[in-house]
Structure 1
Amino acid sequence: MPAAHRLDYWVGAISEGFLAMEASGDAHQFHGELVSAPLGPVGVNWVQGAAQRVWRTPRGIARGGQRVAYLLGNHDSAWRVAQDGREALMRPGDFVLVDARRPYHFDFPAGPSTVSLELPLDWLARWLAEPEAHTARPFRADSTGWGAALAAFARPWRPDMASAPPLPAELLADQLGALFSLACGGTPPTPTPAGLAERAKGVLRDRLAEPGLTAAQVAADLGCSVRSLHRALATAQTPFAQLLMAERLAVARQMLASPALRHVSASEIGRRVGLLDASHFARLCRRHLGLLPSALRTER
């Protein structure tokens, strides 16, 4: 767009195609880019642009009935967020939750370079009993609690992950939700059944050959909620995605070292533990086991 029209076009395009909001900035120097893609239940957005203020008004909210929240973090500069009577100065790498059903205000004095994860409220309610209690409360990147883990996990998300996710989308979403619950101190009132983490490991071992295995499927086998499963695994300090990968690679290592399976190719062994892509399997072996599959076969 011609420079003089970019700010108006930006507001109109985002309001019509994304979320109704208002924005202000220097109309003579304005530029902006928004890239978006779905990844399982989560929408992954990357926003870059010039200095600007952004706000959502009751009128804009009335224009669309989106039942979503956003987890946002700016990479390169400090910014401010306000919602529900709370205001926070956000440092680079911090993340924050906002609810699109209520007014909010952002101020990016140096421009956004922002990861924005769109979270359906029905999905978020599985992990947080009261999402509105946590809006405009920063998850600090330099803290020592679960908020830092949530910020670190959300920071590398990009729309291009949708075409080649590092893990199945449902696993990534489950990990995100579990970290949300931990960072916000969300715990259901009912106690976690004793031994649930160990029982979960047994189910994982039985089903690890299934490429798309999710926490929801494992919870169904165990007769518990997904939230209870994640809470039990968090207590044991073994998040679901991490535990599943550890079990898969432990079995793969045993199979690679077995003389009886010497005739079975490394890629086939990867498939037998639910890792269908041979190059991805090789990278995981090197990263987590320290050796490529070929070297693991000769290891004694």
Structure 2
Amino acid sequence: MSLVLTTASVPDRDKVAYWNDAVSRTLVPMTVTPRGDGPFDGRIATDRLGYLQVSTMEADAERVRRTPALIAASSDALVAVGVQVSGTATFVQDGRRAEVGEGDLVVYDTARPYSFDYPRRFATHVFQLPRHALGVPDGDIRRVTGRAISTGDGFGAMLLPFLAALASSPSGGYPPTVANRLAGNVVDLFATLIEERAHADRPDGGERGHLLPRVLDHINLNLGDPDLSPERIAHHHGISVRYLHRLFQDEGITVGRLIRQRRLEECGRELARRGRTAPTVSAVAQRWGFVSPAHFSRAFRDAYGVSPREWRGLRAAGDGLTAAPAVSGG
């Protein structure tokens, strides 16, 4: 059932405070400042589709800011995809500024500061999902934030009507298994959109542009090798370890941390699968390159906030987990 919050019945003197609280509780904590002087009007409706949150916000002209202080006080690491339904916006993240028009998409990371400036009344759909569910490198997400993605052609043109229909359809009618499967399909589409835009913006020339994708492919193909390491990867590609680390300077993650993050992601996906003959936790850990079951359990709990067995039990029960992995080390 959708949660709907509106300023319609709130006294004029309390509307702005109410709206700040409503938006922060529904999406993520942020500050909202109206641009006009008169009574403020806003409405936000939110529904859940598995671990995907779908919200539609309509409001008078306003400025929205997600500050470092608010980020520090938040526990969730989420990625959002916004669809501008009506009105326009100026979106800023990662030092880039984008003018967003009707029908445009924007991708933003709630773990980094951003702002939206809506000069007049507007409506937008917001799709929020756990950062770890995307399964794409941090560098790819950073390449597409602070940009407006047109839906006039290409993949965006195919995605827009689907997202519009999804936002306007209540999810309460879906059984939990169907809702989770549909959420997974939506997240796959978002990952495809991000990868398409990120790679389209990469320079075609230069050694780095050719070598980094090969290194990433090598890592993904060899996650099950417990000896996979920066030294082995560098030797395989005929480069120094120092140069390998230089390749990843713009990716926002070290080589060692990426290997562990990808291994944990694959373990999490395998443990979440339902079936009559599920492999043991230790077998899953070994398959994806973890030699010590105890080390794997500690790393998994650090990343997902629960043990591997608890994760499997929650997924089997159909409960969505929203805690993003806080993978450290490397």
Q: Same fold (TM over 0.5)?
A: yes
Matched residues in 2 for 1:3 and 1:151: separation? 36
For 1:111 and 1:75, the matched residues in 2 are separated by: 11
Partner of 2:43: 33
Give secondary structure in 1 for the equivalent of 2:102: coil
Letter in 1 for 2:160: A
For structure 1, the residue ranges without an aligned partner over 5 or more in a row are 194-215, 222-300
Name the CA distance, whole Å, in 1 between partners of 2:27 and 2:74: 10
**1:178 equivalent in structure 2:** 188
Any conservation in 2 of the 1:140–1:151 contact (CA below 8 Å)? no
RMSD: 3.2
- CA distance in 1 between counterparts of 2:18 and 2:64 reads 14
- Answer whether contact 1:37 1:162 (CA < 8 A) is retained: yes
Q: Distance in 2 between matches of 1:158 and 1:99?
A: 20
Task: Name 1:119's counterpart in structure 2.
Answer: 129
Q: Deviations over 1:107-150 (max 9, x none)?
A: 1122231110011101122688732322122221112x213223
**TM norm structure 2:** 0.53
Relative to structure 1, the CA distance from residue 168 to residue 126 in structure 2 (aligned partners, 3 Å threshold; closer, same or farther) is: farther
Matched, 1:75 2:103: no
Matches for 1:238-253 after TM superposition, within 5 Å: none
> Does the CA contact (< 8 Å) of 2:26 and 2:46 recur in 1?
no
Taking the TM superposition and a 5 Å limit, the aligned residue runs for 1:200-211 are none
- Determine the C-alpha separation between the residues in 2 that align with 1:62 and 1:191: 32
Q: Indicate if the aligned counterparts of 1:96 and 1:137 stay in contact, CA closer than 8 A.
A: yes
C-alpha contact (below 8 Å) 2:136/2:191 kept by paired residues: no
1:63 to 48, 73, 78: 73
Q: Tell me the equivalent position of 1:109.
A: 119
Q: 1:86 Cα shift?
A: 1.1
- Cα separation, partners in 2 of 1:178 and 1:17, compared to 1, 3 Å: closer
Contact 2:140 2:195 in 1 (8 A): no
User: After the TM superposition, which of the residue ranges 147-156 and 77-86 deviates more from structure 2?
Assistant: 147-156
Match of 2:159 in 1: 150
1:84 Cα deviation from its structure 2 partner: 0.4
Greater RCO structure (CA 8 Å; 6+ sep): 2
Provide the residue aligned with 1:135 in structure 2: 145
| 8 A Cα contact 1:146 1:183, kept in partner | yes
Give yes or no for contact 1:23–1:54 (8 Å, CA) kept in 2.
yes
Aligned counterpart, 2:110: 100
CA distance in 2 between partners of 1:179 and 1:16 (Å): 26
Question: Distance in 2 between the 1:135 and 1:56 partners?
Answer: 14
SS of the aligned residue for 2:188 comes to: helix
Task: Specify the alignment match of 2:217 in structure 1.
Answer: 189
Alignment of 1:213-228 (within 5 A): none
Report deviation, 1:27.
Answer: 4.8
Distance in 2 between residues matched to 1:159 and 1:146, nearest whole Å: 21
1:46 is matched with which residue? 56
1:3 corresponds to which of 2, 5, 12:
12
Answer whether contact 1:124 1:131 (CA < 8 A) is retained.
Answer: no
The 1:185/1:102 distance shift into structure 2, 3 A limit, reads closer
Larger mean CA deviation between 121-130 and 78-87 belongs to: 121-130
Query: Pairwise mapping of residues 280-291 of structure 1 onto structure 2 (< 5 A)?
Result: none
Residue 40 (structure 1) shift: 0.9
Q: CA deviation at 1:85?
A: 0.9
Distance 1:192 1:63, change over 3 A: closer
Aligned residues with identical type, % of pairs: 26
* Aligned twin of 2:171: 162
Unaligned runs of 5+ in 2: 1-9, 197-212, 222-272, 279-330
Deviation per CA, 1:225-248, whole angstroms, max 9, x where unpaired? xxxxxxxxxxxxxxxxxxxxxxxx
Flag the 1:127–1:155 CA change in 2: closer, same or farther, 3 A: farther
Kindly provide the amino acid, as one letter, of the partner of residue 74 in structure 1. Q
SS state of the match for residue 127, structure 2? strand
